[in-house]
Amino acid sequence: MSAAPSSTPVVSHLKGLDYSVVQQCMHCGMCLPTCPTYDATKLERHSPRGRIALMRAIADDRLEPTKTFADEMYFCLGCLACMTACPAGVNYAELFEHARAEVESRQLLTSPKRTFIRGFTVKWLFMDHRRLTAVGRAMRLYQELGIQDLVRGSGVMKLFPKRLRELEAMTPKVQSQFSNELIARVTPATGAKRFTVAVLTGCAQDLIFSDVNRDTVEVLAMNGCEVHTPPDQPCCGSLHAHNGEWALAQQLARRMIDVLPPERYDAIITNAGGCGSHLKHYHKLLEGDPAYAERAALWDRKLKDIHEFLVPAGIVSPPPAEGPKVRVTYHESCHLSHGQKVVTQPRQLLNAIPGIELVELPEATWCCGSAGIYNLTQPEMAGQLLERKVKHIRSTGARVVATANPGCLLQVINGCQSAGVSVRVAHPVTLLAEAYRAEAPKAVAAVPA
Partner 1 sequence: MSLSHSVIERLRSILGSDHVLTAREDLISYSFDGTAALQQLPGVVVLARSTADVVAVLKLATETKTPVVTRGSGTGLSGGSLPSADCIVLCLVKLDRILEVDAANLTLMTESGVTTIQIAEAAAAAGLFYPPDPGSMKISTIGGNVAENSGGLRGLKYGITRNYVMGLEVVLPDGEVLWTGNKCVKDVAGYSLRDLFIGSEGTLGVITRVLLKLLPKPAAKKTLVATYDQMDRAAQTVSDIIAAKIIPCTLEFLDRTTVRCVEDFAKVGLPVDCEAVLLMETDGHPAAVAEEASLMEALARRNGAIEVRVARDEAEANRLAAARRSAFSALARVAPTTILEDATVPRSELARMIRFVEGIARKYSLRIGTFGHMGDGNLHPTFLTDERNKEEMARVHHAFQEIFDEAIRLGGTITGEHGIGVAKKDFLPKFAGDASMRVMRELRRALDPQGILNPGKMFD
Using CB under 8 A, list all residues that contact partner 1. Answer: 1, 20, 23-24, 26-30, 32-33, 42-45, 47, 50, 53-54, 57, 62-63, 66, 68-69, 72, 86-89
Kindly state the smallest distance separating residue 217's Cβ from partner 1, in Å.
33
Kindly state the smallest distance separating residue 202's Cβ from partner 1, in Å.
30
Q: Is the CB of 69 or the CB of 374 nearer to partner 1? A: 69
Kindly state the smallest distance separating residue 398's Cβ from partner 1, in Å.
22
d(CA 51, CA 73): 8
Q: Is the CB of 24 or the CB of 377 nearer to partner 1? A: 24
- Enumerate the H helices of 339-378 as residue ranges: 344-351, 374-377
Q: Is the CB of 72 or the CB of 97 nearer to partner 1? A: 72
Q: Is the CB of 28 or the CB of 164 nearer to partner 1? A: 28
Q: Cα dihedral sign for 410, 416, 418, 422? A: negative
Please answer whether residues 233 and 270 qualify as being in contact, where contact means their C-beta atoms are separated by less than 8 angstroms: no
Q: Is the CB of 7 or the CB of 20 nearer to partner 1? A: 20
Q: Is the CB of 26 or the CB of 156 nearer to partner 1? A: 26
Kindly state the smallest distance separating residue 89's Cβ from partner 1, in Å.
5
Residue type, 127: M
Q: Is the CB of 240 or the CB of 388 nearer to partner 1? A: 388
Helix (H, G, I), strand (E, B) or coil at 30: coil
Kindly state the smallest distance separating residue 232's Cβ from partner 1, in Å.
40
Q: What angle do CA 338, 275, 373 make, to 5 degrees?
A: 90
Q: Is the CB of 69 or the CB of 282 nearer to partner 1? A: 69
Please answer whether residues 273 and 335 qualify as being in contact, where contact means their C-beta atoms are separated by less than 8 angstroms: yes
End-to-end CA distance of the chain: 47
Length of the chain: 449
Q: Is the CB of 249 or the CB of 336 nearer to partner 1? A: 336
Please answer whether residues 172 and 140 qualify as being in contact, where contact means their C-beta atoms are separated by less than 8 angstroms: no
Helix (H, G, I), strand (E, B) or coil at 198: strand
Q: Is the CB of 83 or the CB of 174 nearer to partner 1? A: 83
Question: Cα dist. 322→110, 325, 377, 440, 441 in Å?
Answer: 58, 8, 45, 7, 10
Question: Cα dist. 239→73, 250, 406 in Å?
Answer: 15, 12, 13
Q: Is the CB of 94 or the CB of 266 nearer to partner 1? A: 94
Please answer whether residues 435 and 318 qualify as being in contact, where contact means their C-beta atoms are separated by less than 8 angstroms: yes
Please answer whether residues 210 and 175 qualify as being in contact, where contact means their C-beta atoms are separated by less than 8 angstroms: yes
Among 268, 271, 273, 265, CA closest to 253? 268
Kindly state the smallest distance separating residue 189's Cβ from partner 1, in Å.
34
Q: Cα dihedral sign for 152, 403, 302, 190? A: positive
Kindly state the smallest distance separating residue 72's Cβ from partner 1, in Å.
7
Question: Cα dist. 231→178, 183, 198, 203, 239 in Å?
Answer: 11, 10, 11, 12, 20
- Residue 424: beta bridge partners? 400
- Residue 386: beta bridge partners? none
Q: How many other C-beta atoms are found inside a 10 Å radius of the C-beta of residue 146?
A: 10
Please answer whether residues 344 and 312 qualify as being in contact, where contact means their C-beta atoms are separated by less than 8 angstroms: no
Kindly write down the DSSP assignment for every residue of 215-268, as one continuous string.
HHHHHHHHTTEEEE--SSPPP-SHHHHHTT-HHHHHHHHHHHHHHS-GGG-SEE
Kindly state the smallest distance separating residue 207's Cβ from partner 1, in Å.
38
Kindly state the smallest distance separating residue 417's Cβ from partner 1, in Å.
33
